[in-house]
Amino acid sequence: MSERRAILSVDGGDPIELPVYQGTLGQDVIDIGSLGSHGFFTYDPGFSATAACQSDITFIDGNKGILLHRGYPIEVLAEHSDYIEACYLLLEGALPNAEQKKTFEHTIKYHTMVNMSVEQFISGFRYDAHPMAVLCGVVGAMSSFYHDSLDITDQEHRSISAHRLIAKMPTIAAMCYKHFVGQPYIYPDNTMSYSENFLHMMFGTPCEKYECHPALAKAMDRIFLLHADHEQNASTSTVRLAGSSGANPFACIAAGIAALWGPAHGGANEAVLSMLAEIGHEDNIEEYINKAKDKNDPFRLMGFGHRVYKNYDPRATVMRQTCDEVLEVLGVQNDPLFRLAKKLEKIALEDEYFVSKKLYPNVDFYSGIILKAMGIPEEMFTVIFATGRTVGWISHWNEMITNPYRIGRPRQLYTGANVRDFINLEDR
């Protein structure tokens, strides 16, 4: 138990003692759980100063621009590791040895196919349905296909569900794309790496095999790795909240996908490209920078700013480098869209408004540009984010389920009407 105490007194009333806990890194937290019994709630809309849980998985220091997964800096993982290894690390808590990695990779490959009924299910969506709408529905429906792994109290079930989700997400994501463009589904090829296989299912057709440039497979792997987890963000918190009611993992991940879709979160990568298209030309950048600064204009520079990072997002640093590599490999550095993006980045990094508010380009700014250069349509960007993030969501869900937890049930500051007399319809 904590020895340290914070003392709270409201209007000079009796002091309320609140325990203070210290994590291994990061801010100390004040345990306000007993406040309800003293007649108070805390008020923190947007959860700017609320630690909703205890977790061993990921640490972020937003002021220093540090992101650690199980203690390993993201840039070190990006340089020396790969997505599959990061999945193992997030799920199991330690890097795998060679044998463990081989077994894990085999397990994931063994689960890449989806039940044939999933094909029929996807085909039932309107031909031009947004791939995120399809993904959300299909992942939610997975609990109707895989009942044999839904007992959340059974470790074996939880493990199979986690492996199924990680393995099948690229297959489902690619199927969402194929449905969107009206092409036949391409089945997974288990001789390929996770990322190569995803690109094969996206760009291959029954008439033509997709020859994957190694630099693009590497870039794809980096995109998955850099999105793998990010602490208690909106979608991960949604997964935890849904899971706290005892819902099955497929339902919880579907809830996370829905939360990710918004433009303030994972939808930002798609929004970056829409914004670049709207700006249209380098000559218009100033006008849009001014719009972003105008308090009366809802326009925001998409791909800039972050709730936690008040420094360069370390994922963005790696993504920026990958972006330069991909543009060079594809020979599109001089494409007007990418030149526009680079100029926007430079101006925003120098502009007093963005500098003083510490609004740096975030991971979505560069991932959108990379994916666009690779020929992936904007509607698929958030689907790809969701694919990479699945391991983070399932790791957090698993961590919650295997530790003591209660249903998440926030309270509120009620500002509505007081008790009123009911007036009969004829008298209103």
130 tagged catalytic: no
CB of 371 to ligand CMC, least distance (A): 14
Task: Report the distance separating Cα 177 and Cα 336, nearest Å.
Answer: 26
* 16-21: strand order across its sheet: 5-8, 16-21, 29-30
Residue closer to ligand CMC, measured from CB, 92 or 294: 294
351 tagged catalytic: no
Q: What is the number of other CB atoms lying within 10 angstroms of the CB of residue 97? A: 8
Whether 339 and 281 have beta carbons less than 8 Å apart is answered as no
- Token pair of 86 as six digits: 């990061």
How many CA atoms, within 13 angstroms, populate the side-chain half-sphere of residue 395?
26
Q: Which of 306, 313, 351, 396 is catalytic?
A: 306
Residue closer to ligand CMC, measured from CB, 364 or 379: 364
CB of 3 to ligand CMC, least distance (A): 33
364 tagged catalytic: yes
Chain contacts with ligand CMC (rule: CB under 6 A): 230, 233, 264-266, 268, 292, 300-307, 357, 359, 362-364
Residue closer to ligand CMC, measured from CB, 121 or 304: 304
Q: Which of 82, 221, 351, 364 is catalytic?
A: 364
Residue closer to ligand CMC, measured from CB, 17 or 297: 297
Q: Which amino acid is at 110?
A: Y
CB of 135 to ligand CMC, least distance (A): 16
* 72-73: strand order across its sheet: 58-61, 66-69, 72-73
Q: Which of 69, 265, 351, 396 is catalytic?
A: 265
**Beta partners for residue 73, in sequence order:** 68
Residue closer to ligand CMC, measured from CB, 233 or 390: 233
**Beta partners for residue 17, in sequence order:** 7
Give me the phi and psi of 49, to 5 degrees please.
Answer: -130, 35
With tokens 């408004």, the residue in question is 353
Task: Report the distance separating Cα 270 and Cα 383, nearest Å.
Answer: 10
Residue closer to ligand CMC, measured from CB, 96 or 266: 266
CB of 122 to ligand CMC, least distance (A): 26
CB of 68 to ligand CMC, least distance (A): 16
Whether 19 and 5 have beta carbons less than 8 Å apart is answered as yes
Whether 408 and 396 have beta carbons less than 8 Å apart is answered as no
- Map residue 29 onto helix, strand or coil: strand
CB of 416 to ligand CMC, least distance (A): 25
* Terminal Cα distance for the chain, rounded: 58
Question: Annotated catalytic sites, by residue?
Answer: 265, 306, 364
